[in-house]
Amino acid sequence: MINRKVFFIFLFMLPTINVSYATTPSHMLNDARFEKVSDKKTRPVRDVLNDLVDKHNGDISRVGFSNKQLDSEIYVRSHPAVNFSKYSTLREYLAMMFELKNLKSISKIDEKGEIGIRIKISGQPYAGFSFYSEDGEFYLKGIVVGNDIIRSKNNIDDTRVYELFYSYAIYVLDANGAKL
């Protein structure tokens, strides 16, 4: 089972997320902690993903995955009571990760039947995700904290890992004007 302390440490390693409001509450107008991102999120998620893949295609290819791996679907468990469902391709997810604020590097993990990504953000230990690979499909199954891979042991852990995985992506999609 994923240790709650490790989960929360990992959660705090997320980049600072700007909060978006349709209208800015009056008590926030002069508060520098709140940054108004945009009143209108109008771009379809698919368009944002396509643009990010085009923008970071060279960076993605240098991470070291084969084209077959990059085009593989990532499956996630969004709730303990449901089965895995498609999320994105590895290529699309990597494209989003290259948009993270203060990103230093992204590297490939390939050990013992697991594929994964290790993400380095300035001033923070390595973070990332590991996937169980089966028949050309990737199943989100763990987090990377520093040099360790912490694998989920049950459906509840799978859901916690997904929440972290999703939060990285949603940060990037929101920052790029995706209609969520």
Q: Which tens digits make up the pLDDT trace of 90-135?
A: 999 999 999 999 999 999 998 877 899 999 999 999 999 999 988 9
Strand segments, DSSP code E, in the chain are 73-76, 85-89, 103-111, 114-121, 127-134, 137-145, 148-151
Report, as ranges of residue numbers, the positions in the chain whose pLDDT lies below 50: 7-37, 39
What's the confidence (pLDDT) of residue 56?
A: 97
Contacts of 12 (CB under 8 A, 6+ apart): none
Dihedral of the CA atoms 167, 170, 172, 175 (nearest 10)? -120
User: According to the model, what pLDDT value does residue 149 have?
Assistant: 92
Q: What is the pLDDT of residue 53?
A: 97
Q: What is the structure's pLDDT at 112?
A: 76
pLDDT at residue number 2: 57
Cβ(100)–Cβ(121) below 8 Å: yes
Q: Which of 164, 159, 112 is nearest to 133 (CA)?
A: 112
Strands 137-145 and 73-76: parallel
Q: Confirm if 72 and 80 have CB atoms less than 8 A apart.
A: no
